[in-house]
Structure 1
Amino acid sequence: MRWVLPVLMATLVNAACTDGKTQPSPPIQVQNQSPAAAGLDPGSANFIMAGCHDFIARSGDLSTAYQRGLCVGKVEGVAVFATGVCYPPEATLGQMIRVVARYIDDRPARLHENFLVLAQDAMRAAWPCRR
């Protein structure tokens, strides 16, 4: 149902912007990327990794905007709150997302697991705290 309003708005804007002489552009196609529709656990790496890959590729694909937000937010949360992670001060969020994505991509058998757990494992492996 979340796709109804964006499609309706796009149709109305499209109709309002035509002057009768030009062909209107087709309405925006919005894909339903809800976890339930995809049959995935919304906390799993299976669901969130598409957003991480799109963030890295800077694709701007609207169909994975939700997953991109989850990826960025969860990686940043792990960076701030996880214990045992001591990343260098010059590390960027983009670098952290690439580290997490590479770690998870190298372990396809674990994609069904919780993304936060895998992100924490990735960052601990890349930037362990030295005692």
Structure 2
Amino acid sequence: GSEEGIAFTVSHEGLEARYVLKSNDCPIRIGRDPENDIVVENRGVSKFHAELRLPSTLAAGTRATYVCAVDLSMNGTALQAPGTERPSCLTRGEEVALPDGAVLLMPWLQKVKGIGATEKVSFELHYEVPVLSPTDAGEE
């Protein structure tokens, strides 16, 4: 039906997880708190650091073609889009569209200098392209 979601995978430290976001679903939450969908063990990452959600501009009944990242953190989240030289920092609370192959980096700001500085955690996002089955292709 028209309520089909958008499917994508998120790769993190060699692990790949598949998600499907439908229009009425809760966003996918990333952070240190165990309540999150994606739990990150990193001191620089906030308890609820960022969300992956459908664009709020999406009209009811239309299929999403991309997901957005929203930064909710103290230390920031950056987006490295494919083919760009350096990551750009997300504005807190703003939806940013994620292209296929986008990499999210968190935390963006390094509070701790020198020894013990937190490593950045990266998440790579890839959309699943829906494959038409032969029965869908030729028939009206």
Taking structure 2 as the reference length, what is the TM-score of the superposition? 0.28
Higher helix share: 1
Higher strand share: 2
